[in-house]
Chains A and B, each alone.
Chain A
Amino acid sequence: MSFLAAKDLQVGYHKRIVVDNINMDLNKGEILCLLGPNGCGKSTILKTITNQIELLNGKMTVMDKDLNSISNGERAKYMSIVLTERIDPAMMTAGEVVALGRYPHTNYFGKLTDNDLRIIEESLICVNGMKLKNKQFKYLSDGEKQRILIARAICQESDIMVLDEPTSFLDIKYKVELLNIIKSLALKKSKTIIMSLHEIELASKIADKVLLIKDGKIYDYGAPEDIITDEAIREVYNLDSGYFNTTIGNIELPKIEEEAKIFVIGGGGKASRIYRALNRRGIAFNSGILFKNDMDYNISLKLSNKTIAEDEFVNIREEKLEEAKELIKNCDLVIDSAVSLAGIGKGNYDLIQFAIEEGKRVLSLRKEDIGLGLINYNTISPMIHDVVEYLRLVKN
């Protein structure tokens, strides 16, 4: 049953519509992420939901009760917020900041009962903040401040929590921690959470629903697995140079559009780093033979000029080998990523052999010696360094 719903919302400032046609429907314990480039209207939507700015049109309901019809005080019991704005309360401890979350629940004088104190402690424990309780809020790091503000919102014991870019000031350790906290709040405490995010890959890991916003319009709304596609991201974020790999959840810079003089044999999960190093040096390359379920396959498609791929779990067929051999003929150098050559990977062994017979140098990351006269390296960097050197020599 729907818990929090928005129907045909129009948000904006002073009668100027910033985003139109917002519709969403959340159950209790669901997480909604707003995604979109800067200036698309995410903040405006959030500010409207949290009543910082006035709703222009449409209706927001909690269990069919219109959010705009209730008083500030009542609203506080339904919804708590965590904002991006930096606050600077003088002479306040972290504990006092969190304690303010009890505001809608305490009496006229703000007296904290034992129950209140218990909830405050629990909220702090939730964010791993007990150590910070008696420290001055002002002197905490950005990440610590963020956690305390989240604790405060938890402390308010509202069913709905709205967070505006909560991961922004956090480095990776705290980003991960934060997402865990949010996930646990949704799962264990059935909190309905709305947040805006910059990091697309995080959204797919944590959101139950996603609102994709582009230029003041709702591009799409739905479950992340349905709507976060490479194409959608490309469009919404206007990526014209590079891609967002939604499978991996990572950006890739565009491939080098030149004639490839390097061939990288294999994947097996070991080739991506080689692809990236080459790409970074501006060196075009071809790659194969990769199985379609290989982790390197996806990246190869984006970075490699040509990718020779074989279906999963079958032996490498003859025509694939022929294709690859053709490419190898035209290459100056071959790189062996130390992919497994056993079983279905035997085809790659043939390729290496072929390359040697063609008189091509084969640089390899293989630890064991397979007796084909490969030039071995322990790490990628020196190998790439030599590639670069070699290509320069060849040019001159």
Chain B
Amino acid sequence: MIQAANPDVILLTASMDENTLKMIESLEELGINWIGMNVNMENDPRGRLEWVKYVGAILDKEEEAEEFFERELKKIEEIENSTLESDGVKPKVSYVRITDDGYTVKNQGDYSVKMLELAGGDYIFKDLNPGKDGTLKISAEEFYKAAEDADIIIYENMGAFVGTMEEFLEKGDHLSGIKAVKEGRVWVTKRNYWQSADKAADMIKELRDIFTTPHGELEETEHYLLAK
């Protein structure tokens, strides 16, 4: 399939795992050029955005890339400043993903946590694996206990789509007891969430809106949806 498309070059998330190494081997056999691009290792959304310059260099669109990056960076700066200026209490926020084998939350070092923090949120699991990216599976209890005083829960959709409060509650009887559920401040990610690496700045802005808009006034943004 890749051969048919005959690309000039492939941008590959290079890692040491077996599948990737095999893929690299096949690519080299087929004589297709590849370049490693490890966006996923970035802890900071800005770092992730900066990779656009890398791509720009490859595609010979360095100027545009530079422009884009600066623009996005500025957006984030603005948000950051407004956050620092405001003296309101930071809302406590958590991500979560619930599957048959447990509750998955982000490690403190993950870039999405940084996004949350830039947007002015306080991640409730900030003691969890600081500096490390990625996710961690925890028990239902642990999540529940920590989420007890979370103001906002952001549910990351990855399996069957959870869009309403009812669907969220189906994940567990006990969830009706947490504060965010009672106050109706459970948000879910929409289907476009995972493809929007370049929209990081916009997403941070959306998060900011979610955090600061009084409850009841905002029900949907480009990437997030309020579970009702």
* Chains A, B in direct contact (C-beta < 8 Å): no
